[in-house]
Amino acid sequence: MGLHTLRLATVPLTFSTFTSRLFLKPIPPNTLQTLGQFSRHVQPRKPFLVRAFSASAAVHETPPTQASDSSAARPQWKASIDFKWIRDNKEAVEINIKNRNSNADLGGVIELYENMVNLQKEVEGIREERNNVAKKMKGKLEPSERERLVEEGKSLKESLVTLEEDLVKLQDELQQVARSIPNMTHPDVPIGGEDSSAIRKEVGSPREFTFPIKDHLQLGKDLDLIDFDSASEASGSKFFYLKNEAVLLEMALLNWTLSEVMKKGFTPLTTPEIVRSSIVEKCGFQPRGDNTQVYSIDGTDQCLIGTAEIPVGGIHMDSILLESVLPLKYIAFSHCFRTEAGAAGAATKGLYRVHQFSKAEMFILCRPEDSETFHHELIQIEEDLFTSLGLHFKTLDMATADLGAPAYRKFDIEAWMPGLGRYGEISSASNCTDYQSRRLGIRYRPSEPLQTGSKKGKASLPATKFVHTLNATACAVPRMMVCLLENYQQEDGSVVIPEPLRPFMGGIELIKPKLR
């Protein structure tokens, strides 16, 4: 499928804020303390951030007209990829690529890297020769010898310019080819396709119904909650209108989720829903590839986000954090937009797979040694949320071929959807280690004593390290609605609201059929 583009129309748009559309309960004091820390965590000019980051990860912006250049064009940004490690661990990387069913060109990366190293040595050799010529010319010389040295210096300069241009092109090509290499994989991850994924935990059991059950499409129609037909006319397939109690249910799900996750020390965010294509790429997505899930805005270098993970990842881009502020834990609300290229069939009908939806996403930045612990914390939060709603679900350790390029390890949660007659994914939690931070340029400086250097006893700061990033879905509204409507339906056609959500719906306990 080709590139999905959106053309901007000159129509004024207004967007209401998240909080103005939700029914909020009184915020407890400990939550206010969490909110009080918000600006300290996200404002890039606070003391713990150093904006002058190394040039290797700097963003080089180009005019919007260059947004659709071919892959042969010079990259707009450079990732801090450890090419030497890749070369020295060629066998392990090759096995990892195979296990993940990746099409990465490892041989091409190593060849380009070795060519780059050799060319760098050649460039350094010529620079040294130029310096030697310059030193010789400082002394007393015969006119003929001086003229010879001048000509030699010109020749070396011309050679150096050519080689430096070749080096830049080679570095850019290496960056482009190396971006396809996926993250390494946790040793406990099952090897194989999705069917090889291992069940970590199973909670509850499928509800036994004593009456014919309906799927969420029929329930949504009978209870006047969801309108797919009008949305199809207005926007196209895989869009929908929510109506009546369904609107309150969406708000309740998001408010309840935010309140519960904030109790765990997460800072709430709303995010931009349009970002630069480079941010999408740095997070490990392909905004302009074949079968892309990303909507790109025609004539710009911008995209609609498919998940809040992308703009949240950009908050601390090209920054050096102090170790003392880690971990940074966010719970972000956004609308998400996905092309759903290639999605078709009964398994994707209704709310299960749509182009636009609301979602609350958790995101953590932490020290490398802490990321595995936080990965388990994220999946535990998800399991606690879904258990509180009375859902039957299983947690899976996803197999290698089902991992996206950034993920070192990924846990999925699949819940029972009786109307659809199957389990469906409602959440995932991924540990991306330093895959994203090396591209986004997010480092931290360890809290270690100053080190005394050998030169005149001067003290130096400890070397920076890349943070690890993790993300997890706290609430993807449409699929949660599928679960709630189908699992809580009653024989008379009504749907019971789970108890934790009732205070966020103004006390509504039951969605009843409308009187006609």
For residue 353, indicate whether it is catalytic.
yes
Kindly name the residue from 100, 276, 288, 353 that is annotated as catalytic: 353
**Binding site annotation covers 439?**
no
158 annotated ligand binder = no
Q: Which of 100, 276, 288, 479 is catalytic?
A: 479
Does 310 belong to an annotated binding site?
A: no
* 428 is a catalytic site residue: yes
Amino acid 52 reads: A
Distances (CA, A) of 266 to 134, 360, 362, 379: 60, 12, 8, 15
Q: Which amino acid is at 120?
A: Q
Of 425, 445, 494, 502, the active-site residue reads: 425
Which of 277, 278, 319, 428 is labelled catalytic? Answer: 428
User: Phi, psi (5° rounding) for residue 130?
Assistant: -60, -40
Q: Is 165 among the annotated ligand-binding positions? A: no
Active site residue 338: yes
Helices (H), ranges, 430-491: 435-440, 477-487
- HEC string of 355-371 equals CEEEEEEEEEEECHHHH
Count of C-beta atoms within a 10 Å radius of residue 259: 19
Residue 358 is a catalytic residue: no
Determine whether the annotation assigns residue 120 to a binding site. Answer: no
339 is in an annotated binding site: yes
CA atoms within 13 A on the CB side of 106: 18
* Active-site residue flag, 148: no
CB distance 432 to 406 below 8 Å: yes
Q: Which of 100, 338, 439, 443 is catalytic?
A: 338
Task: Please tell me whether 340 is known to bind a ligand.
Answer: yes
Q: State yes or no: 71 annotated in a binding site.
A: no
Q: Is 270 annotated as a binding residue?
A: no
Is 338 known to sit in a ligand binding site?
A: yes
- Cβ neighbors of 21 (< 8 A, separation 6 or more) are 251
In degrees, rounded to 5, the angle at the alpha carbon of residue 471 between the alpha carbons of residues 192 and 64 is 100
Cα(46)–Cα(180) distance, rounded to whole angstroms?
35
As a 3-state breakdown, the chain gives helix, strand, coil percent values, each rounded to 5, of 40, 20, 40
| Contacts of 20 by beta carbon, 8 Å cutoff, 6+ apart | none
Query: Is 356 annotated as a binding-site member?
Result: yes
Is 307 assigned a ligand-binding role in the annotation?
yes
Q: Whole-angstrom Cα distance, residue 168 to residue 120?
A: 10
* Peptide bond before residue 272 is cis, with ω within 30 degrees of 0: no
- Residues placed in the known binding site for L-serine: 307, 338, 361, 471
Binding residues for ATP: 338-340, 354-357, 425-428
Catalytic residue numbers read 338, 353, 425, 428, 479
Residues flagged as binding site: 307, 338-340, 354-357, 361, 425-428, 471
